[in-house]
């Protein structure tokens, strides 16, 4: 299935990718969990996140923090307090710096806590998505604070698409561990 364009597809794909991600995590060996991520030998992996995240916790807190961005943004705006999706001082050009700050913020967060935080925030995101109609999620112009996109596109980005990103990274790490 391509990128979801309806509430039903969003809920289905987000849950399916969440389950696939959790299965992949549950199948990680002690060696894979203990080995720091290192993609420096792969010249195709040039994006900053390949260097930023060093372990499963870093991935889970990244997903959690992006869930929090969406939850805070939607709740603030629905309650009449205008807010941007990316909070100041960051913007869409500097959000990479924000992602680095997320990692720094969670250096003392345990893997178990990160798993629990991610599980709860996923549930919160799914419940919030369910509270909107298909039109509210996927018609443009319903909420002026969303701008030129549909609200649902943000839900897709922080769930299904982000879970895909996490799975690709974990699979690459597993391949690295297997080859060493």
CB 142, CB 136: distance < 8 Å: yes
Which residues of the chain register pLDDT less than 50?
none
pLDDT for 156: 97
**Gap between the Cα atoms of 100 and 95, Å rounded:** 9
pLDDT for 96: 95
pLDDT for 132: 98
**Gap between the Cα atoms of 158 and 46, Å rounded:** 22
pLDDT for 101: 97
3-state secondary structure of 27: coil
Angle between helices 56-78 and 95-105 in degrees, nearest 10:
120
pLDDT for 1: 62
Beta-carbon contacts of 163 under 8 Å, excluding residues fewer than 6 positions away, are 14, 17, 18, 20, 21, 63
Angular region, 32: left φ>0, alpha ψ -120 to 50, beta rest = alpha
pTM of the model: 0.96
CB 124, CB 67: distance < 8 Å: yes
């Amino acid at each position: 299935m391509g990128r979801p364009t309806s509430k039903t597809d969003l809920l289905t794909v987000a849950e399916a990718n969440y389950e696939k991600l959790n299965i992949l995590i549950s199948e990680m060996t002690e060696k894979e969990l203990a080995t720091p991520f290192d993609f420096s030998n792969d010249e195709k992996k040039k994006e900053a996140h390949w260097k930023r995240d060093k372990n499963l916790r870093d991935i889970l807190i990244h997903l959690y923090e992006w869930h929090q961005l969406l939850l805070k943004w939607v709740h603030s705006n629905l309650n009449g307090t205008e807010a941007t999706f990316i909070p100041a001082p960051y913007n869409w050009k500097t959000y990479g710096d924000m992602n680095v700050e997320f990692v720094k913020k969670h250096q003392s967060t345990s893997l178990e806590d990160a798993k629990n935080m991610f599980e709860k925030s996923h549930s919160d995101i799914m419940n919030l998505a369910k509270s909107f109609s298909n039109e509210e999620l996927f018609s443009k112009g319903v909420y002026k604070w969303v701008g030129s996109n549909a609200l649902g596109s943000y839900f897709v980005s922080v769930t299904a698409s982000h879970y895909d990103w996490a799975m690709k990274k974990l699979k690459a790490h597993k391949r690295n561990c297997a080859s060493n």
